[in-house]
A and B are shown apart, each in its own frame.
Chain A
């Protein structure tokens, strides 16, 4: 029983030292907006998760060379983060497009289209970018007699900058049962993945490419189709079409 007074003393000491609550209120500012293809004006389709477009925030009010903060864009190229601290940020986007911040081969910055904002409540930002590739549907998907599906797409370059015109390496038709369809989420039984070496893929630029799902009849359920293509630049991320949904009935 002798211990109890000591325990009480310990807690009493704790109470005395905690007279000031060192708590900053939760972040409540918003950064919202979109990444837009400069050529078409459409938001730039990407992949959810680490392999897609992301926002990079540098809190320059804190430090001239801060540790960057990142958050991920949504699949359709829009972004929205409602839990950001009020501060001055230098904001840019990273993804499958000509980088906003470019350096030469000795590390000098040669161009920088980051946007600097003084975030007080909400900032709406639009980043105009040149995608490496534009991947567009040509017509609607066609369900064949054997319940495979054939799609047509056209892939073109999104930039005239020859530094970002490497050979096209992959054109993939992804099949999934959710709309979050992409290189990190697809059904390998039906998706048709094609890699190209040398300039064989590049020769397909501007052409209508026809791709059919593989593995026989698709299952009778909601199915989402999406085509991704990439060049070997940056982190080799994919540019995508919009996802399209088809319902298969047997």
Chain B
């Protein structure tokens, strides 16, 4: 009976409330946040902006071509698609997948709509704020919209430009909502227009965030303008795929004659940062290689770095990643059981200075007689390596978190008199012979008794294990971004908050050099541009501890590209560079990447010595990049929603 009493009471109360308050029924529902609640206060605007920034499509710690943006699970890492590295979970070239959690196409249009809505609505509430503040906020919305169009055009070519909110009224025709793809040129020009608007309306710095933070300012917009226009220029220059729609709009490809104007815009934008940002040099010394190395490591961790142009911050537990968990060397594995997903290839390591090399540029591992060179320690081979290489890659035997990272393929027990001949013929893709080799299939090893009586595990603590690829399968492990101060107990998925640096000044310098060299190659600039390009590349090289660039050579563009691949490696940039240079399908044309396997020769010297075998990936994983992928396949639902949106060629 109690129930009825309560019901009667509720009705009674309702009658009282209704009787007094409900003279007017047309009131906004209390359960839905209204424009007034968001746009009426600066706290509301902050919340709206936080959402816009979280939607900003950048390839950060939570990106992989396999699973798209904003996905925590990074076990098919981007560098394992570009030749920078090998991963046990990535076995070849790939086209980007749209992503399960945050679909790139529909996610970008959600972000664009949110920007449009802000730009359209804020003027109504402008009286609440000072005019300058409103101008800055609108600049931010344009920045995010321009960045979002950039994310679309670099993937798909021309896309629908939707610069005002589309409203669907139930029952009405949808024709006006089915916006066709704009031409690729019009889309790049939209990126240019939005970022230029941002440059003109954003402040030099936000008092709340400083100049090196995660909020866009004038220079952040300029830095991205330099990147976007460089992408546009190289696409115009190198692309060969074209697609026209029925009304002769070129949705894929641009006339090559457009390239120079884009390069000029890239150069001008890059120069705007002059004097406002600089390379991180706080611990650097011109004469001390280990200081140069440490400086390069610290660059990714110092929040006060003057090199940080635009960063993405994380916060536990709301926004986290697991970079270390996936990528620590095997011997420092965390309790989630992941490790060593990114194993740099020998092809990548050979790009760097300070290594003994053969005339063809490959690493020297054999003596003049064709026998293996012998070393007491694995690090001896890398004694003069460029400091930036050590800051980017964990070399076999190098120190990390106070340990020597132990990488060894096996113990060679054969005779060493007269030198050790290569285990396999040059270029062979066969398995290693089993005679004279002691190896280990997993991390639980049985030690081998050396001739001097000492015991040694066949494989290193971080691999290589023949039956279990959770190890340094290439002979190297990645170093960049790994936090040297993170305790192993904290090396967990969805637990890390290390900052992602999306744009650093080194890239701006390299954008500038590349734009200059491209302008020179198009006959649009003289010796002064060439000189400036070399000077800015040398700023980067000097900081890296690399050999300065003195002779322009016959292919300066290639020199700049190589520098870019070294400096920005493992920052998810090379994937896009190889695409926009249209060389992905040339580099990955039946390619099997090379690895470097350290072996311990038990009978060499009094206590045994190491030798290195350079060979192709033991798994024989072939990388072939399909040229169709330069323009990605549009998601099927984008086309089924609008017959005016046409598919890219070949899909």
The reply to whether the CB of B626 lies closer than 8 angstroms to some CB of chain A is: yes
Q: How far is the CA of A96 from the CA of B140 in the complex (A)?
A: 47
Which secondary structure characterizes the binding site on chain B? Answer: loop
- Judging by beta carbons under 8 Å apart, are B428 and A172 in contact? no
B527: interface (CB < 8 Å): no
Q: Which residues of A contact B650 (CB under 8 A)?
A: 50, 94, 235
Q: Which 8 A-B pairs have the closest CB atoms?
A: A107-B244, A107-B248, A193-B590, A189-B429, A236-B627, A188-B622, A188-B620, A235-B650
Would A183 and B624 be within 8 Å (CB), given that A105-B242, A107-B244, A193-B589 are in contact?
yes
Which chain A residues numbered 53 to 110 have a C-beta less than 8 Å away from chain B?
63, 65-68, 94, 103, 105-108
Chain B CB within 8 A of A206 CB: no
The answer to whether B428 and A216 touch across the interface, beta carbons within 8 angstroms, is yes
Question: Which of A105, A183, A215 lies in contact with B590, CB distance below 8 A?
Answer: A183
Contact B585 A215 (CB under 8 A): no
A interface secondary structure, majority: loop
A188 touches B626 (CB 8 A): no
Residues of B within 8 A of A (CB): 240-242, 244-246, 248-250, 255, 425, 427-430, 585-586, 589-590, 592, 620, 622, 624, 626-628, 639-640, 643, 647, 649-650
Tell whether, in the assembled complex, residue A51 and residue B643 are in contact, meaning their CB atoms are under 8 Å apart.
no
| A residues with CB within 8 A of B | 50-51, 63, 65-68, 94, 103, 105-108, 170, 172, 183-184, 188-189, 191, 193, 195, 214-216, 232, 235-236
Instruction: Kindly list 18 other residue pairs between chains A and B, CB separation below 8 angstroms, not including A68-B647, A195-B586, A216-B430.
Output: A50-B628, A51-B626, A63-B643, A66-B643, A67-B640, A103-B242, A103-B244, A107-B245, A183-B590, A183-B624, A189-B620, A193-B590, A235-B626, A235-B627, A235-B628, A235-B649, A236-B585, A236-B627
Q: Is A188 in contact with B427, judged by CB distance below 8 angstroms?
A: no
User: CB distance A216 to B425 under 8 Å?
Assistant: yes
Identity of the chain B residue whose Cβ is nearest the Cβ of A66 in the assembled complex: B643
B639 in contact with A67 (CB, 8 Å)? yes
Contact A215 B429 (CB under 8 A): yes
Nearest residue (CB) in B for A54 is B650
Query: Can you list 19 contacts pairing A with B, beta carbon distance less than 8 Å?
Result: A63-B643, A67-B640, A105-B255, A106-B248, A106-B250, A107-B245, A107-B248, A107-B250, A183-B624, A188-B590, A188-B592, A189-B430, A193-B589, A195-B586, A215-B428, A216-B428, A232-B240, A235-B628, A235-B650
Query: Of A65, A94, A214, which is within 8 A of B643 by CB?
Result: A65
- Tell me whether B643 and A67 are in contact (CB under 8 A): yes
A51 and B255 CA atoms in complex are apart in Å by 27
B246 — which chain A residues lie within 8 A by C-beta?
Answer: 65
Q: Which residue of A lies closest to B636 (CB)?
A: A67
Which residue from chain B places its CB closest to the CB of A64 in the assembled complex? B246
Chain A neighbourhood of B255, CB < 8 A: 105
Q: A107 to B183: give the CA distance in the assembly, Å.
A: 12
Across the interface, do A188 and B429 meet the contact criterion of CB distance under 8 Å?
A: yes
- Closest beta carbon of chain A to B579's beta carbon, Å: 15
**Is B622 within 8 A of A215, CB to CB?**
no
Given the complex of chains A and B, what is the CA–CA distance between A143 and B642 in angstroms?
Answer: 57
Query: Chain B residues with Cβ under 8 A from A183's Cβ?
Result: 590, 624
Residue on B nearest A192 in the bound complex, by CB = B590
